[in-house]
Amino acid sequence: MAPPAMEMLGRSFLPGRASAAGRARGGGPCFAAAGREGRRRGRGPLRSAAPVGALAERVVVTPAPAERSGAAPPEEPPHPQSVASRAVVTVRRRRKEDAKRRVAEQLDAYADRVGRSVLLELVSTETDPRKGCPKKSKPSALLGWFEKKDVKAERVVYTAEFAVDASFGEPGAVTVLNRHRHEFFIESIVVEGFPSGPAHFTCNSWVQPARVDPRPRVFFTNKPYLPDETPPGLRELRRQELSDLRGEGAAAAAAGGERRLTDRVWEYDVYNDLGNPDKGAGFARPVLGGDQLPYPRRMRTGRPKTVTDDRAESRVEYPEPIYVSPDEEFEEGKNEMLSEGALKALFHNFMPLLVSSVSPDIRDFAGFHDVDNLFKEGLRLKQTLQDQLFQKIPFVRKIQENSEGLLRYDTPDIIKKDKFAWLRDDEFARQALAGINPVNIERLQAFPPASKLDPAVYGPPESAITEEHIVGQLDGMSVRQALEDSRLYMLDYHDIFLPFLDRINAQDGRKAYGTRTLFFLTGAGTLKPIAIELSLPPMTDGCKRAKRVFTPPADATSNWLWQLAKAHVCSNDAGVHQLINHWLRTHACMEPFIIAAHRQLSAMHPVFKLLKPHMRYTLKINALARQILINGDGVIESGFTPGRYCMEMSAFAYRELWRLDQEGLPADLIRRGMAVEDPTQPHGLRLLIEDYPYAADGLLLWSAITRWCDAYVAMYYPSDESVRGDAELQAWYGEAVRTGHADKRDAPWWPRLSSPADLASLLTTLVWLTSAQHAALNFGQYPLGGYIPNRPPLMRRLVPTEGDPEHAHLVADPHRFFLSALPSLTQATTFMTVIDTLSTHSADEEYLGERPDEEWTADPAALAAARQFVDEVRRAEEEIARRNADTGRHNRCGAGVLPYELMAPTSGPGITCRGVPNSVTI
């Protein structure tokens, strides 16, 4: 989320798995091979570095006395006394800097010249047998900072020279002490000159000045090591680094207080910062997390408590920064995209608010032409209203003259090919399979459907839909035949909404039902809606208002009632999509696994290396969401029907519905009755609706991720004992469950982590959720939901019954009544602006399988498996394109039908309705 305005190859050359004797000798052939491979690719730092051979020639050999006197040489060849090496450090500068920052950098450059330099130190993988501690080089200053102070390139390369004893071994870590006044960003370090070949250190991290953090930063080699295979010289550094990231040891003194923006500490907290009780009771919100409202944990910031409620944490309002570890902050490309979105939001929201404040009578859309004009002409004003605005606020004319492009909204894809598709029943049904929220459709397995809620509170559990309502829509089948042939399907939002309806409907301008919608699967493989049930909590026994059933219309009045009923279904669907499937399942529930990974898995751990691209930006996005999206009176509360009860509904769903063991795609499809196990099928599943675009394309990516994780895990874990004996791995998963999901820690369904198969399955699920699942639920929001009548996020009127005064208004002016039930002008434009930003890919997006840093691991087998994964993802993209051109697939191809590309892995920047980033980045 974002502001409006995360095949096994041979093991003989695997690093970290050689014999103890081999490790003691300080290296292996794969390390040199990886270095040679990096040099063949011509990576930036190596192009400017001296050749390895040249550095090797600088080894100093001290002749023995016998050689100097002309005596016979000794039997053993002489050993070099020192090795000359150097570190090539790539620093990434900001592309755009203000004057204050430029002055600061110049001051640092001059300070560097007089000795306040950046110091590097090499740490060996071996220990000094006399001292019992790691072998270390002498500190060496980074050279060239002053000389390159005016270089305009984004990446600047510096060097540091070292001379170490010949028995030093191979470098396993580099420490960096920043004695400048300001932080800088290290992208990578390459250490050259050692017999074992170049050592690569992938950094991608901010290094704080010593005045902020007096301890040197530690960067480990890109060579992966399981905990018990860590070389002796790195063991204590590995332990200390994780301790610091947990806020223990030297960082413990500050751990209990408010986190500084420069800290690198990962801790947990409940969601106690969504409201602001100090502003009044109406601004208070309950704490999410605990017995009353179970919820996943979020990143702790440690801000002070509010004055009026010691359970609530004080807020930091956007755009003030909220704490995440500095390395989780957005890079410049992402910030530029969000800044452009914020500017667009400013203009898009300003004019509707201004118009409605001056002329309250046009707060609603008068007709569908008003909606269409948002995309054609922007917000078109009547001349009299323009004159009124120009007189009151002279700069309005200037805004309208200079910002015409920003005031006009992009045309959503849903109306580009067929302006009236959204009115049709077949399109309403198609979007349940290939729309924004294709993960709630389920096969009906018993008729009538029944509620699981307490009947003593909510009345009889059986649906009011009878066989008489639907039998005429089943192509001659009986209801029993249709059930047995898997031809009946349902969207069921009854139980998730009903407990909240009295409170929702008591709010001004919010009206909702608990809905059920039944569909019939036609012979063409498409769905058609055959009944909609709208439910309210019963007021009395036998209350007729409690359950109303609508069927496809037969006359003009029933047609408009049917359209209103579909709109309420879409509003339910929009709320469940945003609050549960999108935010809860792919944002909030993943955060504990990310926090635990940084606390418990070393950067050298192979599992951390696999997960790292799938954690990018997620903590920052979630922090911003707490500031402006899911907070009290934020975008979600303002834009969706549940209003101030949005997050309580999300917590209800977490308690009642969320299970990690059912979050993988195959398990979810089987749970919903949309697939059955079938070993004869390519993915081991048979879809009961063959043309189910989300599932069919999703299985392509799921299978690719599965094979990648299976191959990767097999490289490092040959047995069940190797998984159970990995202390860091077990601590990661155990903490994510026990602390990160503390309110469900005792649930019996948590997957075990006792075998390589368990680990591969867990990793597959996490990678799926953060990449393909999030993409399917996020990047179609504006293309498919930007046309408000197609998918209203909130409703303001109930469906009138005959005899009600509102029924007469419906009959007299049906299309105006329909629009008045949808969001108002300002609600609609605000919502459109937000989902415009949410649907946008930034220019620095990293898509599934992409790793900009080619040296993310020194393991050649892992690199080879990663290339196979990329190839399989590419083949999946080609298959998706072929399917979208197949005229036999009516749910993704046809007159006015949008192709389904949300699982197509790659995309350009902007709103494209396609592209699968590695992580939850927006």
| Cα–Cα–Cα angle for 45, 150, 93, rounded to 5 degrees | 50
Asked whether 683 and 616 are in contact (CB, 8 A), the reply is no
Separation of alpha carbons 146 and 143, rounded Å: 8
The DSSP code for 910 is B
| Residue 568 annotated as catalytic | no
CA atoms in the 13 A half-sphere facing the CB of 858:
31
**Active-site choice (778, 790, 891, 918):** 778
Residue 823's alpha-carbon distances to 493, 584, 797, 820, 832, in angstroms, are 20, 24, 10, 7, 11
**Active-site choice (587, 614, 741, 841):** 587
**Active-site choice (415, 436, 594, 922):** 922
| Residue 582 annotated as catalytic | yes
| Residue 598 annotated as catalytic | no
Separation of alpha carbons 590 and 364, rounded Å: 39
Asked whether 766 and 570 are in contact (CB, 8 A), the reply is no
Phi/psi of residue 209, nearest 5 degrees: -65, 155
Query: What region does 756 belong to: left with phi over 0, alpha with psi -120 to 50, or beta?
Result: alpha
Q: How many CB atoms lie within 10 A of CB 805?
A: 7
Per DSSP, the three-state class of 192 is strand
Sign of CA dihedral 602, 608, 613, 618: negative
Q: How many CB atoms lie within 10 A of CB 849?
A: 24
Sign of CA dihedral 763, 767, 772, 776: positive
Asked whether 226 and 82 are in contact (CB, 8 A), the reply is no
Separation of alpha carbons 224 and 17, rounded Å: 10
Separation of alpha carbons 9 and 918, rounded Å: 24
Separation of alpha carbons 208 and 697, rounded Å: 44
Q: Determine what percent of the chain falls in helix, strand and coil, rounding each to the nearest 5.
A: 45, 15, 40
| Residue 922 annotated as catalytic | yes
Residue of 598, 620, 614 lying closest to 771 (CA atoms)? 614
CA dihedral of residues 740, 742, 748, 749 (deg, nearest 10)? -30
Residue of 641, 660, 649 lying closest to 288 (CA atoms)? 649
Maximum Cα–Cα distance for the chain, whole Å? 120
| Cα–Cα–Cα angle for 365, 369, 371, rounded to 5 degrees | 55
CA atoms in the 13 A half-sphere facing the CB of 685:
25
Q: How far is CA 483 from the centre of its chain?
A: 38
**Active-site choice (362, 774, 835, 880):** 774
Strands (DSSP E) contained in 407-487 are 442-443
DSSP H stretches of helix in 550-642: 556-576, 591-600, 606-611, 618-628, 635-639
Separation of alpha carbons 681 and 655, rounded Å: 34
Helix (H) or strand (E) holding 171: strand 171-178
| Cα–Cα–Cα angle for 232, 237, 240, rounded to 5 degrees | 135
Phi/psi of residue 268, nearest 5 degrees: -110, 155
Burial of 674 (0-12, 13-18, 19+ CB in 10 A): buried
Per DSSP, the three-state class of 310 is coil
| Residue 778 annotated as catalytic | yes
**Active-site choice (348, 577, 582, 683):** 582
Asked whether 762 and 703 are in contact (CB, 8 A), the reply is no
Separation of alpha carbons 778 and 792, rounded Å: 16
Residues in the chain: 922
Could you list the active site residues? 582, 587, 774, 778, 922
